[in-house]
Structure 1
Amino acid sequence: MAQERRPVPPCRGAGTQPGAALGSGLPPAPARPPSREIRACPGSGTGRGRRRLRRALGAVASGGDAARRAGKKEPVLRGTLEEPLPRSCRRLRQSPERCLCLPFPGQRRRGAERRRFPGRVLAGPFATMNLGDLGAEVIKVERPGYGQTGPVVQRGGYDSIAAAVSGLMHITGHEDGEPVRPGVAMTDLATGLYTYGAIMAGLLQRYKTGKGLHIDCNLLSTQVACLTHVAANYLNCKIEAKRWGTAHGSIVPYQAFKTKDGYIVVGAGNDHQFVTVCKILNLPEVSKDSRYKTNTLRVQNRKELIDILSTRFSEKATIEWLQLFEGSGVPYGPINNMQQVFSDPQVLHNGLVMEMNHPTAGKIAVPGPGVRYSEFAMSHPKPPPLVGQHTVEILKSVLGYEDDAIEELLCTGAVAQHEVR
């Protein structure tokens, strides 16, 4: 649920923040019309208008039973749906500024699947954005996500909080520094990807058995699962995790080194690669030193070795080191700023810069999807809908409202229509 009436941020990959429209950053699939969105405001308008809209949304959300009670054919929608407005508006009365947003990206297809999916802030929109890239039509209503059950289920879930509670911040930052939040909302994004995969698995389950299933994805579970080897070290060996900055706890060298004008990351994943690194750095005596013969020894003597390598890396500019490492078989790369990222030849080759026309911002560039498919190409991206941009269209074509009923909802303030110039 959103806090205020604000337009969707003009960014393909951006998620909703408090006060932003739900589903922001959600592009439609290739060669399909722009997204459509209906905005229902339960805290405004007359009770009659709210009840009528609630009944219609309930028919969509509850599936066949509600639809049959409403005397209408069960709606068939592709994508995700959280829940209708609750029969009791107690929670909404407590927070009357909250609004319900139902985005409908793309065009409905006959025989499409309907899925219910709770999303929040960035994780949910990121998941449905990926589904939209594959052709899904998405219906989504947000609510705060620690999961569906448990002792803290009522708490609001946000990336930074989940990153803290899950231990991610505890292991992120300089070795001698304070905990650090990752530069992007990795917990939100990982939850979106987990959810995206779970929905695809649910579809396979449906086609295989004829039965659907309930999926519970949340920020806390996602980030704890993503602790991987750090969690395994503690669970099996009771080794408490620590911060390593850009370094790796069990591979040396594998970190960023300061150069004359920037930074370069170099990783020696085995003893042969370490010898190659020493050769490139013109430090043959280091590769022959008995203290650094194996990775285990290099980990034990980390400080002395890193001091030697750091001194050497500081003697040349980043571009010089990149040229020396080219073709060596050793993993390496510069720490790029945004200008360098989006002028990188491989980034451009992978089609990771895409342009779209936004109804209010004009022509904008956005990062493209991270996956390509052999059987179809990604078409020109389209922007997410503005808040209430397609309210009338959805009320009429999806919910089956007559013109007079739509006019009543608009006049009472139960819904709003955003006019795009």
Structure 2
Amino acid sequence: KNWKAHSQGISLGVVVREYASLSHLYKQYFGFPGEILMRMLKLVILPLIISSMITGVAALDSEVSGKIGPRAVIYYFSTTIIAVVLGIILVMTIKPGVSQTAEHIDRAGTPPNVTTVDTLLDLLRNMFPENLVQACFQQYKTKRKELEPQKLSVNSSTVPPLTTTIMTVMENITKDYKIVGTYSDGINVLGLIVFCVAFGLVIGKMGEKGRILLDFFDFDTPALNEATMKLVQIIMCYMPVGILFLIAAKIIEVEDWEIFRKMGLYMVAVLSGLAIHATVCLPLIFFVIVRKNPYTFTLGMAQALVTALMISSSSATLLVTFRCAEENNCIDKRITRFVLPVGATINMDGTALYEAVAAIFITQLNDYALDVGQIVTIRYVPVTAASITLKTTL
């Protein structure tokens, strides 16, 4: 049903776009059933992550979890590194920004005052939320606020030209900032995962004393997770209708098809990088480690991949990913409950590749040459960290 809904949604979107002239308001009305699907999927993210992470960690003994955890994290960061390197190679080879002209760029607005250090510190801050309830709907984010420049007190006997020179220099070089903490809307998934992992480890080590808590979260008992799965089944019944209108609305909302021509080489660099990473790099890693056909495994995950593509959220697709991994590919539930929520949060290969291409594309657009050292230090490290931060923000 979902595959049929995807094709019907594309057809409906093309027909409505060509033969019906809808205002922006009616376009939003048209996509309302798809909006309801997105809300349903986001609704179950919180109980799904909490229950799956706690039961997954608690069900694994310390020796097994000690092996799976580091291996999963190493794999996630390794694939992110590969994606960044692949994106850099492609953008330096295709050079999409060289053929563009920087004069036609709309430079209205001011860029946010964000640094790599602040981004990494915010990432660490969100890993340890000060209020667990608040982490369910808000994330912590810092901003830099410029302080008033310090002025030099000058003795009245000082020669006037010297005073003027000193004051000018001080005003030019004396800038100080302070960090201002704010909260933005959105689930702090990273903080919840860190808490659930720690809580699951504690429950697992408590033995029989922690059994009552484990039974509350466990998949195999009539408690939180079984109730969540019942909700998931209801959402699955509505999903074909929601996907139909979600895809159709996305196609209708594209106002300027000329963007595909104007940004052609840039899109070629990004899309070709994603295609190579998804069809060559990841299957090759799977084959080397597992020694099985990677495309058979990918076929079992196809529904989750297409759903994530359509709704642009791997976290919201988590319930479909669980079902595909456990039912189609027969993966142990203890593994999926631990690995998938973490992967949906920190494994951002596509975002890392896109940001690497975008950063160098902008430098090419402004005719700014980068050497190898600048590419590694300015593009690779910040992009890898920022991709995780962007994911937790979204």
Normalising by structure 2, what TM-score? 0.23
The higher-RCO structure (CA 8 Å, 6+ apart) is 2
Task: Please identify which structure carries the higher helix content.
Answer: 2
